[in-house]
């Protein structure tokens, strides 16, 4: 049930999403936004909110894993492993109240978001 939470929220709130590509971009942005909130909660020592926000990011990664087309070969396998590792880092951040682990996840997601936007910008030109 939790695995579809992020997807359902975004699709309900954004009925007019143009494409699956836009949805993936929004999911990456959601992780960054939720991790920002988790870092704020850690600084405020509000551990209940920290867990809430980290769990939201984990839900998005699970949804991203569920959306992988494994017919994509090596890239699909790489993304699966990368997403699973990000979930491990988020779990560590949750257990240790680690802003550093959240920052590591954010750096990866920023790179993925940038690459995703580049790929889709090239597709639009074709």
Q: What is the pLDDT of residue 4?
A: 63
Q: Count CB atoms within 10 A of the CB of residue 92.
A: 17
Residues 103-122 have a mean pLDDT of 95
Q: What is the mean pLDDT of the chain?
A: 90
- Of residues 66, 57, 56, the one with CA closest to residue 20: 66
Q: Are 74 and 82 in contact (CB under 8 A)?
A: no
Angle formed at CA 54 by CA 51 and CA 55, multiple of 5 degrees: 80
Describe the crossing of helices 47-66 and 5-13 by its angle, rounded to 10 degrees: 90
Q: Contact at 8 Å (CB) between 48 and 37?
A: no
Query: Which pLDDT value is given to residue 38?
Result: 98
Contact (Cβ atoms closer than 8 angstroms) between residue 17 and residue 23? yes
Tokens found for residue 72 = 């994509």
Tell me the percentage of the chain whose pLDDT exceeds 90: 75
Domains of the chain: 2-125 (1.20.120.340)
Looking at residue 34, its pLDDT comes to: 98
Give pLDDT, residue 21.
85
Determine the pLDDT at residue 16. 55
The pLDDT score that the predictor gives to residue 20 is 84
pLDDT digits (tens, 9 = 90+) for 48-101: 999 999 999 999 999 999 999 999 799 999 999 999 999 999 999 999 999 999
* Residue among 52, 51, 54 nearest 102 (CA): 54
Token pair, residue 123, equals 């597709």
């Amino acid at each position: 049930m939790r695995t579809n939470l992020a997807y359902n929220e975004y699709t309900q709130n954004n009925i007019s999403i143009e494409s699956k590509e836009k949805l993936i971009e929004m999911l990456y942005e959601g992780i960054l936004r939720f991790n920002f909130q988790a870092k704020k909660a850690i600084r405020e020592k509000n551990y209940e909110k920290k867990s809430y926000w980290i769990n939201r990011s984990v839900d998005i990664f699970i949804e991203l894993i569920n959306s992988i087309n494994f017919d994509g070969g090596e890239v699909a396998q790489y993304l699966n492993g990368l997403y699973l590792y990000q979930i491990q880092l988020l779990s560590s951040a949750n257990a240790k109240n680690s802003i550093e682990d959240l920052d590591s996840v954010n750096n990866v997601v920023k790179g993925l978001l940038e690459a995703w936007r580049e790929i889709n910008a090239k597709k639009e030109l074709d």
